[in-house]
Chain A
Amino acid sequence: MDLKLDHRTEDGLTIVEVEGEIDVYTAPRLRELLIDLVNKGNFHLLVNMEKVDFLDSTGLGVLVGGLKRVRAHDGSLELVCTQERILKIFRITGLTKVFGIYASVDEAKEAHGKDK
């Protein structure tokens, strides 16, 4: 399955919907979207990974790159993910300590609201 990307803004949070496979072939498209969003002033990003079938280290690199960009603007990049096979990659690489990972968009929005 290819990669489908969409985004919307709710309550000051830009929600990026990702569906499909994030790998060495498709990750550049996600990187371009994250860079574009930051360049347009969206510094609080929430990437919804619930429909991601596959994520490799190239995809992790794109997410880390996005995090570095938003942090340069005192922003945030957090994730929604409950799939064990995706979470496992974050655990193996230690990135669970770097990203805020939520069980749902609503949970992430609530936490984001409290942080404001």
Chain B
Amino acid sequence: MATVELMFSALPAHVRTARLVATAIARRTGVEESLLDEVRLAVGEACSRAVEAHRAHCPGEPIRIELKDDSGRFEVTVSDQAPSDEIKQEQPLDLGMLSDSFMSGFGIAVIAGLADDVEVFPSPKGMRIRMSWPAANGHPS
């Protein structure tokens, strides 16, 4: 299957659409049914994080998602254009420190827990999150 690209403005309402598209293409690409919930959640987390970052830094700029079948893997890359220096939160849990800023780090933690393979590329020009899952069934028509 050829690469599918999706661009959407930084509105929370569009995140659900992005989830639905990613899940549909994952299914078509041959990702196992048991993994589709993980794809849906991980893509939703990446898009939610991007929307929040754009709303804070560049609300007029679009967010880009690339979905492709790459050598038997379903690969999703979510790219934003908001400057980022976020790091993964790995401290032990304490309710007192669960501030809103701490919770914003949960999105990437959730993605890391869900995707089979994840790479996060933060930069001053935006963050790129690439994640992939096995697509064992090859190329359904």
Task: Flag whether A68 is at the interface (Cβ < 8 A).
Answer: yes
Contact of A56 among B13, B48, B95 (CB under 8 A): B48
Task: Flag whether B93 is at the interface (Cβ < 8 A).
Answer: yes
Query: Per DSSP, are chain B's interface residues mostly helix, strand or loop, or mixed?
Result: helix
- Asked if B107 and A56 make an inter-chain contact with CB atoms under 8 angstroms apart, the answer reads yes
- Nearest opposing residue in chain A for B109, CB measure: A93
- Asked if A57 and B16 make an inter-chain contact with CB atoms under 8 angstroms apart, the answer reads no
**Set of chain B residues within 8 Å of A57, measured between Cβ atoms:** 45, 48, 103, 106-107, 109-110
**Set of chain A residues within 8 Å of B45, measured between Cβ atoms:** 56-57
Contact of B15 among A24, A68, A71 (CB under 8 A): A24
Name the distance in Å between A42's Cβ and chain B's nearest Cβ. Answer: 19
- Asked if A92 and B16 make an inter-chain contact with CB atoms under 8 angstroms apart, the answer reads no
Of the 9-residue stretches B36-44, B63-71, B130-138, which lies at the interface with chain A?
A: B36-44
5 A-B pairs with least C-beta separation: A92-B113, A61-B103, A25-B12, A57-B106, A24-B48
* A residues at B contact (CB < 8 Å): 21, 23-25, 54, 56-58, 60-61, 64-65, 67-68, 71, 85, 89, 92-95, 97-98
* B residues at A contact (CB < 8 Å): 12-13, 15-16, 19, 37, 40-41, 44-45, 48, 51-52, 92-93, 95, 98, 100, 103-104, 106-107, 109-110, 113-114
